[in-house]
Amino acid sequence: MIKKLLPPLGVRYGDFDKYRNYDMSTIHARFYRDIFDKYMANGTHYVTSVRDPADQWESAFHQFNFRRVISKAVNGHEQMVIINSSLKVPFNKGNSTLDAINEFLRKPKVYHNDLKQLGEVVWHFGHNSQMFDLSTDLTMDQIQNETLVNITINKLIHELDAFIVAEYFDESLLVMKKTFCLTFTDILYVSQNKRELKNKLPETTRTKIRDWNRADTLLYSRVNESLWKKIHSYGPDFQKDLKYFKNLLLEVESNCSLPLHKRPFKLNHKTYGKTLKPSASLFCKMVAGHFADILKRVVDKQKSQHI
């Protein structure tokens, strides 16, 4: 893995012994704390995010097209599955995503196994994916053990310095700002990579998703509870600071992005991001720019200063 990393500034390509003291890592990666400690600078803060498993799993189902897996599995078994007395899979345009989700949840172990058997590299998104990414000392079978999961959650809460709860994103950032002695400017952002239309799932389906993703549900519950304790201990200025922060976010979006203009991402034609104004400042480019453009700036700077 180390061969895929860009060396730190001033370090020659391939001089792996000096691949140390990185200031920041923001890539998608599973949380191996011992490995991160080996490469990150002393005093690095570790931050992660969690999301309600019902929303996170539905998003993964949509993004990675799990309904295609259901269709493949049924074809492989040479059988049709009847839904609501009439609808059948393999799915066509006449079937909704909710039909596919409910079919998956009818026999989730079977379909999750089909994800593996069909060679889908995203199979882990089908079951407790948040704990899979964070509890790297547990196997997928062990993640089903609630006692081990709770022990691991205790460990994660100790090892990670901050958690962002997606449903309370701004509140989480305020708590992190106070924890790390940051400024409001440090936590400004403009939302990107958002799905324009989302499936509205009935609560019965959402409950089934949480039950299927029990470990993720336990993690989310503990982290969410911890967040609100920190909000309570933040002090009487929390609501005032939150209102001020939200107004700042609106101001940044207005100053940096074109109004009512959405640009589709290549990852998914139904996912959109805001477009920068032609006269955007460097600050706007860093806060509201496309992640690929920001990444290129970082890569170019590192490459320009290599020995």
Cβ–Cβ < 8 Å for 274, 190: yes
User: Would the pLDDT of 193 be above 80?
Assistant: no
User: Would the pLDDT of 290 be above 60?
Assistant: yes
Q: Would you state the pLDDT for residue 206?
A: 97
User: Would the pLDDT of 187 be above 70?
Assistant: yes
Q: Across all residues in the chain, what is the average pLDDT?
A: 85
Q: What's the rounded Cα separation, in Å, for the pair 187 and 245?
A: 9
Give the contacts of 59 (CB within 8 A, at least 6 positions apart): 195, 198
More confident residue, 294 or 207: 207
Token readout for 273 is 């991001």
Q: Would you state the pLDDT for residue 66?
A: 85
Q: What percent of the chain has pLDDT over 90?
A: 49
* pLDDT, mean of residues 14-35: 87
What's the predicted TM-score (pTM) here?
A: 0.86
Q: What's the rounded Cα separation, in Å, for the pair 259 and 188?
A: 18
Straight-line distance from the first to the last Cα atom of the chain, in angstroms, rounded to the nearest whole number: 21
Pairing of strands 162-165, 47-50: parallel
Provide the b/e sequence for 56-71 (b: ≥16 CB within 10 Å): bbbbbbbebbbbebbb
Which of 33-47, 87-101, 188-202, 218-232 tops mean pLDDT?
A: 218-232
Cβ–Cβ < 8 Å for 248, 170: no
Sign of the four-CA dihedral 294, 124, 160, 23 = negative
Question: Strand pairing partners for 47?
Answer: 162
Q: What is the pLDDT of residues 210-264, one digit of tens each?
A: 999 999 999 999 999 999 999 999 999 999 999 999 999 999 999 998 875 555 5
User: Would the pLDDT of 136 be above 80?
Assistant: yes
Backbone angles phi, psi at 171, to 5 degrees: -60, -40
* pLDDT, mean of residues 294-300: 81
pLDDT band at 143 (very low <50, low <70, confident <90, very high): very high
CA-wise closest residue to 278 among 268, 288, 270: 288
Residue the block writes with tokens 């936590």: 187
Q: Would you state the pLDDT for residue 76?
A: 53
Q: What percent of the chain has pLDDT over 70?
A: 84
CA-wise closest residue to 190 among 64, 302, 297, 280: 280
CA-wise closest residue to 16 among 27, 30, 5: 5
Q: Would you state the pLDDT for residue 122?
A: 83
Cβ–Cβ < 8 Å for 170, 243: no
Q: What is the pLDDT of residues 56-81, one digit of tens each?
A: 999 999 888 887 777 776 655 545 55
- DSSP H or E run through 50: strand 47-50
Cβ–Cβ < 8 Å for 8, 303: no
Q: Would you state the pLDDT for residue 140?
A: 81
Q: Would you state the pLDDT for residue 95?
A: 63
pLDDT band at 268 (very low <50, low <70, confident <90, very high): very low
Token readout for 174 is 């305020």
